[in-house]
Structure 1
Amino acid sequence: MEINHRIAARVRQIRADQGLALDALAERSGVSRSMISLIERGESSPTAVVLEKLATGLGVPLASLFDAPAAPADPVSRRKDQVEWRDPASGYVRRNVSPPGFPSPMQVVEVVFPAGARVAYETGPRPGVQHQQIWVLQGTLEVTVDKTRHELDAGDCLAMVVDRQITFRNRTSKPARYAVIIDHRPA
């Protein structure tokens, strides 16, 4: 399934499961009703920032928007089945590594962040507490949480709670590759 159609199906499914109308999700997420409609029809290639706003409005981790709808619970995630998505604004590529549909409070995502790229998430409070760790595997990455800036090199790991603005930036001339480990236990 093409990634935009997968995202479309997941947003529709999660919204329907929660009994949310388009207007209600628009109000909760800060994304316009028309944009949500385009995304749910697979007619828009949303940016990472828009997807993060939708995930926050739906009360789910961003990574869950990339799962296949009604994915069977399998404890193994094969590389050939892991879908990659490219952010149309920054060019960063993300891949959900964790098995989709498997009941676990943790997810692992791999990101390749291009040279010179910048993405700012205006994440707000969510139901429960979502912990996240950024483990830099290759290159250098700058992560700013609110006003605190962290320079991370290969091997460094940053732990944080996802409840405030987070900005990722690669100020170098080479891509950075990192793993995001997400703990999203329900409230």
Structure 2
Amino acid sequence: MRHLEDVETRLADRLAELRVERGWSLDELATRSGVSRSTLSRLERGEISPTAALLGKLSAVYERTMSRLLAEVESEPPQVVALATQPVWRDLESGFVRRSVSPPHPGLRGEVVEARLLPRADISYDAPPVPGLEQHIWVLEGAVEITANGRTHALEAGDCLRFRLWGASRFRCPGPDPVRYAILVVLP
């Protein structure tokens, strides 16, 4: 549990650093992200943990993938990442669990992520963290509905969806079972 607390503290610090690096006030960041000033302030002070949707909005404002943002608060990733050491992030509110299978590296463009959604979990992102981000989503277990660039795709175990994301996206697990899928992300 100590590792999770350390990551959340470093994430809060990194989010504050990114805002200051751009010379933005909390009010300006609130306007750019659509997140209230008070929520941003509490987040940067480490008083609250971000949800997937909130991290998605901030990743988009800072033009980073969520994986890259989370990797910036982890130490330098090794070439081989054992299952036990792969960073896992949980959004208890939405039922979303995200494992960085191959943590991103600043010099590389691709990464692999494992995601799990509980039945009826529904996560929406207003915009991609990086316009034109390429994603390959391979469903390993269960079923998921993915909306990308205005088109909804119903995927089941074994199905793979590929797209470049320019607009909003949504991930919904219709149930009755959870869904587990791999996301291969490639920066443009």
- Kept in 2, the 8 Å contact 1:45–1:88? The answer is no
The equivalent position to 1:83 in structure 2, one of 82, 87, 92, is 87
Q: CA deviation at 1:146?
A: 4.3
Residue 47 of structure 2 is matched in structure 1 by 43
Partner residue, 2:146: 143
CA contact (8 A) 1:76 1:99 kept: no
State yes or no: 1:92 paired with 2:96. Answer: yes
Q: Percent identity, aligned pairs only?
A: 38
Q: Residue in 2 aligned with 1:25?
A: 29
Match of 1:120 in 2: 124
For structure 1, the 5+ residue unaligned runs are none
Normalising by structure 2, report the TM-score: 0.85
CA distance in 2 between counterparts of 1:110 and 1:59 reads: 21
**Paired AA for residue 10 in structure 1:** R
Please, which of 155, 164, 169 is the counterpart of residue 166 of structure 1?
A: 169
Going from structure 1 to structure 2, the CA distance change for 1:155 and 1:6 (only over 3 Å counts) comes to farther
Q: Could you tell me how far apart the structure 2 residues matched to 1:23 and 1:75 are?
A: 40
Q: Which residue of 2 aligns with 1:182?
A: 185
Structure 2 unaligned segments of length 5 or more: list them.
none
RMSD: 2.2
- Cα distance in 2 for residues equivalent to 1:181 and 1:93: 16
Map of 2:159 onto structure 1: 156
Aligned residue pairs total: 184
TM-score by length of 1: 0.86
Contact 1:84 1:93 in 2 (8 A): yes
CA contact (8 A) 1:96 1:108 kept: yes
Q: Note if contact 1:6-1:66 (Cα within 8 Å) is conserved in structure 2.
A: no
